[in-house]
Each structure stands twice: as C-alpha cells, then as structure tokens.
Amino acid sequence: MIKEIGKGNSVFNNFLAELRDVSIQKDRLRFRRNLERMGEIFAYEISKVLTYKNTDIETPLGETHMSVMAEQPVLATILRAGLPLHQGMLNYFDNAENAFISAYRKYDADEDFVIKLNYVSSPGIQDKVLILSDPMLATGGSIVASLKGIFEKGTPKHTHIVCVLASEEGIKTIRKSFSSKKTTIWVGAIDDELTAKAYIVPGLGDAGDLAYGIKED
C-alpha cells in the first residue's frame, strides 16, 4: 500500500518545497527542521491506522472516557540522513522504542555498488509495529538491506516505511522484496527519474550532506 502525503494540499508541501529549493536548502538548520516537521506529519498520519483502546481519564473536575493508543511503535532509522525525520516522529511517539541502522554504499571499480550494513542496534520487534524512516528511497537497496537486518530481531505485525521522496524504481523494489509481508510505504512525493548513480531526479540532492555537511568517502 502506498500513501503519498504530498498529493493533497497541506503545509507538508511547503516544507517539501523548501527541501527541494537549491537556495533555501543551503541553510542546514532549516533543512533539518523541515525534515523534523515532516516526520511529525508522517507520525500523525500513521497514528490514524494504529490500534486504540478505551480508557477512563480522571480530570480535576470529574471523569471522561477516551480512546488512546494501545501501544507505541518501534521507530527505526538509517544513519545519518534519517535522524531529523526520525526525531520528528519521536516527538509524537514519545514513548517509542528506537532502532538505529548504519548502512553504506560499497563501490567497485566500475562504480557499481551494493549496500552494506555496519551494525543494527534494535529492541525486539516481534509482533510490534515497526516504522523505518529514511528521507530518500532511490534504488530501494538501503531499505531492503536494513529491513533484512532488523527482521533478525523478530517479525513485526506491520511495517511502515517512511520516505520524503521516492523513485518509481525504489517502490517497485520494496514491493517485490516484501510482497508477502504487511507493509505500507508513506512518501511525500514520487519522482520518475533515477540517474545512473542512483540519484532521484528532480529530487533534492544528498539529504545527509545537506543536513550535516559533506562527508569524505
């Protein structure tokens, strides 16, 4: 299932427009803050499909009955670009357990690459709701490798994948790799083109570099 948040008119698209804008994205603080705010919006939308329970709440003046979340999800992200997006969701799912994944592209002499995992730090996820966030879903390789790594901690009852931008190819990869699992992809917008070096076009550039500075290879 695909949920494309940017299809409707909302303030979400203002934040996405600023992320894409080559002049505005020079401000790293603003870039990180926009990712964080978009994470909050994704969290709010995902909260609508979670499980709820009825509970009694005592107020200073009486008692009321309310429907509240039955459990908190496990929030996972891929370092380093995913941190601001992850923080936005953590602002809303503030009692969630957290998982962190280190992944990188390993290139060969022909400039082809495979995704390698350095480590996975995660709680148990058996029969829990898992939300994995990464700003860009390009080839889908990082998401596939990360989920395979984290699934060693158990089998979630549902997996939500959150990306600000995705390519058509990346979405096809996720669908093919996890067709047998209960998975929902939440995305801000879907771009058609993917370059030979696996960058999304028009995209927004390298989210990690824009958020935290250019790294040495």
The token pair that represents 30 in the structure block = 């603003």
Residue 28 resides in a domain: yes
Q: 98 and 74 in contact (C-beta within 8 Å)?
A: yes
pLDDT of residue 196: 76
Instruction: Assign 4 to helix, strand or coil.
Output: strand
Residue 170 resides in a domain: yes
pLDDT of residue 158: 96
pLDDT of residue 105: 63
Q: Kindly provide the residue ranges of all beta strands, DSSP E only, lying in 51-135, ordered along the sequence.
A: 52-59, 62-69, 74-79, 97-107, 113-121, 129-133
Query: pLDDT > 70: what percent of the chain?
Result: 94
Residue 61 resides in a domain: no
pLDDT of residue 217: 63
Residue 162 resides in a domain: yes
Q: Which residue has the tokens 């601001």?
A: 84
CATH number of the domain bearing residue 94: 3.40.50.2020
Residue 203 resides in a domain: yes
Q: Is the pLDDT of residue 110 over 60?
A: no
pTM, whole model, 2 decimals? 0.92
Closest among 64, 66, 69, 65 to 52, alpha carbons compared: 69
C-alpha 39/C-alpha 45 separation (Å) is 10
The per-residue pLDDT of the chain, averaged, comes to: 91
| Mean pLDDT of all residues in 107-123 | 70
Residue 216 resides in a domain: no
From the number of C-beta atoms within 10 Å of its C-beta (0-12, 13-18, 19+), residue 175 rates as middle
Amino acid residing at 201: V
| Mean pLDDT of all residues in 102-119 | 65
Report which secondary-structure segment, H or E, holds 135: none
C-alpha 152/C-alpha 138 separation (Å) is 24
If one counts the domains in the chain, the total is: 1
pLDDT of residue 106: 62
Q: Is the pLDDT of residue 111 over 60?
A: no
Residue 172 resides in a domain: yes
Q: What is the pLDDT of residues 177-204, one digit of tens each?
A: 887 679 999 999 999 888 877 889 999 9
Residue 163 resides in a domain: yes
Q: What is the pLDDT of residues 10-35, one digit of tens each?
A: 999 999 999 999 999 999 999 999 99
Residue-number span of the structural domain to which 29 is assigned: 2-51+69-207
Q: What is the pLDDT of residues 147-173, one digit of tens each?
A: 999 999 999 999 999 999 999 999 999
Highest mean pLDDT: which range of 20-29, 101-110, 136-145, 171-180 = 20-29
